[in-house]
Structure 1
């Protein structure tokens, strides 16, 4: 069974419903995953937009997700419904938690990348994407990816 991440709100490569964006409720979408490899100690999620005008824009970071967990319910970030042990990092709005798509123009792609790790990270709440990537070096055993798209409704 291959490691994969999906959402009941949108399919890979499709448009993200506005409910999960700055044009809607700006809540984190429901996510689920399967096929976690044996021996994994934790999972990490990075949600970013490589199409942002200033380069990669980080929307959400969660790490130390317990390996027995296989989903985030809708609005998990916004309603403090993340599983025990999971820690949120800093997004590029300099806030912890989820910040939905809000592209200034055109269609942007939003990557939800899930990493299966052989360690539990010693990072603190509010860690940045760079700190997370540095801490994961040499410990990533598998990755899964879901891509959604969004364009503002002006």
Structure 2
């Protein structure tokens, strides 16, 4: 599987996510840029998860149907042609970091190029998304940010 380069001008890989993008700040999604999407991708899928959440992996952002020829998304914007799904806060779109006070949490952004649209329905959780990606993922890229309260 080839790799997609996923970056942000707001934070570096494994760096701190600015408060502006958190639930304590303006709660706007960070800008993202990507390259290396393989030919044959039907669409892109973007998710952001907190694997350190007390109740298990917490879904902060899920967008499907992103145009495979796109190269990123601006701060606070919706990816081109994307469909934003409910996050684990119960609302559609970006839900910024808001971990319980204590140590830092990791926020893993993953962009996947898929060969066909994912068969998702209702309010899919992280596990359902990862199951749907199996056998459909052509390439993926990852960017991890941290946030601490």
The two structures have a TM-score, normalised by structure 1, of 0.88
Which of 106, 113, 131 is residue 109 of structure 1 equivalent to?
Answer: 106
Q: Distance in 1 between matches of 2:39 and 2:79?
A: 23
Q: CA deviation at 1:37?
A: 1.1
- RMSD value, Cα: 1.7
In structure 1, the partner of 2:135 is 138
Q: Deviations over 1:44-91 (max 9, x none)?
A: 011010111111111000111110111111001xxxx4312x111121
Task: Please list every run of 5 or more consecutive structure 1 residues that lacks an aligned counterpart in the other structure.
Answer: none
- The structure 2 residue matched to 1:129, chosen from 126, 134, 139, is 126
Residue segments in structure 2 that go unaligned for 5+ positions in a row: none
Question: Structure 1's 122 and 37: CA in aligned 2 closer, same or farther, altered over 3 A?
Answer: same
Check whether the contact 1:96–1:126 (CA below 8 A) recurs between aligned residues. Answer: no
Structure 1 stretch displaced more, 118-127 or 24-33:
118-127
Q: Distance in 2 between matches of 1:144 and 1:82?
A: 16
Equivalent residues of 2:15, 2:146 under 8 A apart: yes
1:96-146 CA distance string (max 9 Å, x none):
111000110221110001111111335357543333333322011111000
- Equivalent pairs counted in the alignment come to 147
Quote the residue 2:68 is aligned against: 67
Kindly indicate whether the alpha-carbon contact (under 8 Å) linking 1:44 and 1:63 is maintained by their aligned counterparts in 2.
yes
Aligned residue in 1 for 2:117: 120
Query: How high is the TM-score relative to the length of structure 2?
Result: 0.90
